[in-house]
Amino acid sequence: MKLLIDLQACDTEMGDLQNRIAEGPLKIKELEKRLAEMDEEYEAAEKQLEDLGREKRGIEKDIEAVESQIGKANTKLSNIKSNKEYKAALKEIDDLTREKSRLEDKAIEFMEQLDSLSEQCRAKKEERERFHEEVNQEKKHILQEMSTMDKALQSLSRKRGKFCKKVSDDLLKRYDFIRERKAGLALSPVFNGVCQACHMEIPPQRYNELIRGESLLDCPNCHRIIYWGDNEQFKEKSAEE
Ligand SMILES: [Zn+2]
């Protein structure tokens, strides 16, 4: 029984390690996903900045065009003879001047947007670089942890091998059979008559039998191999550890 308890402890530890090792690549994947999202965000902001810059240049061209129209209109004005024509020309200049000031307001608006957007871009770039560095460190750390855990797992596996040699083949088969079907836990201590794996009460007769420790019993509910958890000899640490 003591051997089985050691074996179970070994298997539980191995299972934990395997789960934690399996988490490593998932964590790395998650980090890389966030990094890719950040790249996308940054690229989108850069693109927006480019588009806005192009629009601003367009407006500047429009302003130049209006200015040249105003210049032409002014030249025309100095050559006009009739009053009616003069009025019309003045109105044209007036309209063009209004249009120019509208475009100038728009250009200022774009300039402000550009300023704030390029500031955002710069911040995003910095954030992205910082996170890139963080991810590299974190990846290194995770890989290191994984290799440490892998070594621990190998040493546990050797320990398990030693335990297995001391347990009879039939018992080992039974143990492994239950363990595979019971989420890695083939063994359960019973405290105060209650199976600690499924929390069901063991019938008094079987409990008494368990305390006598003459045969290997199982829990009538979860079918795991049970042992009397209050037995002092099972509480001692294994000499192997
Ligand atoms: Zn049980």
Tens of pLDDT, residues 60-100: 999 999 999 999 999 988 888 889 988 998 999 999 999 99
What is the separation of C-alpha 78 from the centre of its chain, rounded to a whole number of angstroms?
73
Cα(219) to centroid of ligand 1, in Å?
5
Burial annotation 104-135 (CB, 10 A radius, 16+ → b, else e): eeebeebeeeeeebeeebeebeeebeebeeeb
* Whether CATH 1.10.287.1490 fits 17-159: yes
- 217-218 and 194-195 beta bridge pairing: unpaired
Cα angle: 42, vertex 47, 49; to 5 degrees: 95
Tell me the pLDDT of the chain averaged across its residues.
Answer: 92
Residue whose tokens read 């083949």: 169
pLDDT band at 148 (very low <50, low <70, confident <90, very high): very high
Cα(218) to centroid of ligand 1, in Å?
8
Cα(179) to centroid of ligand 1, in Å?
13
Cα(198) to centroid of ligand 1, in Å?
4
Instruction: Assess whether pLDDT exceeds 50 at residue 238.
Output: no
Instruction: Assess whether pLDDT exceeds 60 at residue 239.
Output: no
Instruction: Assess whether pLDDT exceeds 70 at residue 240.
Output: no
DSSP state of 201: B
DSSP state of 197: T
Cα(164) to centroid of ligand 1, in Å?
24
pLDDT value at position 241? 38
For residues 121 and 44, give the distance between their C-alpha atoms in angstroms, rounded to a whole number: 9
Question: For the chain, where do the domains classified as CATH 1.10.287.1490 start and end?
Answer: 17-159
pLDDT value at position 81? 84
Cα angle: 119, vertex 123, 129; to 5 degrees: 145
Cα(222) to centroid of ligand 1, in Å?
4
Cα(25) to centroid of ligand 1, in Å?
35
Cα(23) to centroid of ligand 1, in Å?
30
For residues 121 and 124, give the distance between their C-alpha atoms in angstroms, rounded to a whole number: 5
pTM surpassing 0.75? no
**Is residue 221 within 8 Å of 232, Cβ to Cβ?**
no
- 217-218 and 225-228 beta bridge pairing: antiparallel
**Is residue 38 within 8 Å of 127, Cβ to Cβ?**
yes
pLDDT value at position 237? 54
